[in-house]
């Protein structure tokens, strides 16, 4: 016949069929809930329970501890990430960590559901030395609803962000709004190393994504505060860098 209807009486809907539909419907890949990483001990990270989706494939994280190997000398950058390999029938998804002088970029195969490829997202970055883990930075991305006005967030994410104005790109949604900031300057200082002021920001906004152009410049854990009119990042920035911020409005 050359064509067949998958979602029809008596037909079988495969995981691939399911994933392709959800990949098209969902706003990118990331966490739906939870998955926060914290430092539990000198050489252990703790991952909270959570739910998420990679390219339309739902996953769950059970609360768990991840041991991190300390260095023999000096310090290294580190990351904890989710690794999905659809060609691995025994363990298609796993939590992995890497420590190195220069971290490997995440693998995000195009058409992953067609080619049974690999897709990864980072949960956090950190620094590890001979004695402890430090400088933990939360890098989780949360899946948010698509926009009815300006296209979904995945469309915006595939745009070359260096060509976007260093200002707010607002995406209105049915129950709130998402604010994008690009090339936000981070000063070399300890304390409040960047503040963005804009009337569109409310105290109900939270940071869904924060990506530093030079992660090694951030040498302490990063915290943030939002008020009506501004968002501030706090910590130690050893050298000037920039970051991309995504703020989402919490549901009331």
Residue 178 has a pLDDT of 73
CA-based radius of gyration for the chain: 20
Domain range annotation of the chain = 15-138, 153-249
Of the pLDDT bands very low, low, confident and very high (cuts 50, 70, 90), residue 173 is very low
Please tell me the total number of residues recorded for the chain in this structure. Answer: 252
Q: Which of 3.40.50.460, 2.60.320.10, 2.60.520.10, 1.20.1070.10 would CATH assign to domain 15-138?
A: 2.60.520.10
Q: What is the mean pLDDT of the chain?
A: 83
Q: Which residue has the higher pLDDT, 213 or 94?
A: 94
Q: Is the pLDDT of residue 48 over 80?
A: yes
Of the pLDDT bands very low, low, confident and very high (cuts 50, 70, 90), residue 191 is confident
The Cα-based distances of 246 to 131, 151, 243 in angstroms read 33, 16, 10
Closest CA to 147 of 169, 168, 174, 182: 174
Q: Is the pLDDT of residue 157 over 50?
A: no
pTM of structure = 0.61
Of the pLDDT bands very low, low, confident and very high (cuts 50, 70, 90), residue 145 is low
Comparing 10-19, 63-72, 175-184, 210-219, the range with the smallest average pLDDT is: 175-184
């Amino acid at each position: 016949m050359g064509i067949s209807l998958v979602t029809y009486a008596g037909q079988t809907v495969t995981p691939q069929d399911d994933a392709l539909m959800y990949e098209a419907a969902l706003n990118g890949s990331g966490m739906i809930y939870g998955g926060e990483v914290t430092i539990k001990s000198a050489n252990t990270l703790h991952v909270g329970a959570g739910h998420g989706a990679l390219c339309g494939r739902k996953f769950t994280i059970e609360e768990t501890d991840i041991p991190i190997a300390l260095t023999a000398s000096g310090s290294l950058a580190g990351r904890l990430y989710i690794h999905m390999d659809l060609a691995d029938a025994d363990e298609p998804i796993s939590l992995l960590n890497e420590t190195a002088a220069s971290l490997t970029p995440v693998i995000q195969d195009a058409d992953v559901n067609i080619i049974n490829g690999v897709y990864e997202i980072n949960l956090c970055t950190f620094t590890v030395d001979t004695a402890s883990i430090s400088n933990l930075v939360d890098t989780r991305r949360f899946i948010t609803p698509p926009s009815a006005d300006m296209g979904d967030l995945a469309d915006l994410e595939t745009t070359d962000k260096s060509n976007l104005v260093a200002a707010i790109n607002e995406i209105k949604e049915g129950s709130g709004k998402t604010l994008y900031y690009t090339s936000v300057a981070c000063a070399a200082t300890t304390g409040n190393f960047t503040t963005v002021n804009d009337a569109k920001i409310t105290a109900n906004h939270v940071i869904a994504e924060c990506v530093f152009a030079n992660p090694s410049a951030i040498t302490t854990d990063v915290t943030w505060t939002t008020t009506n009119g501004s968002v501030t990042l706090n910590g130690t920035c050893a050298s000037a860098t920039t970051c991309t911020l995504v703020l989402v409005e919490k549901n009331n």
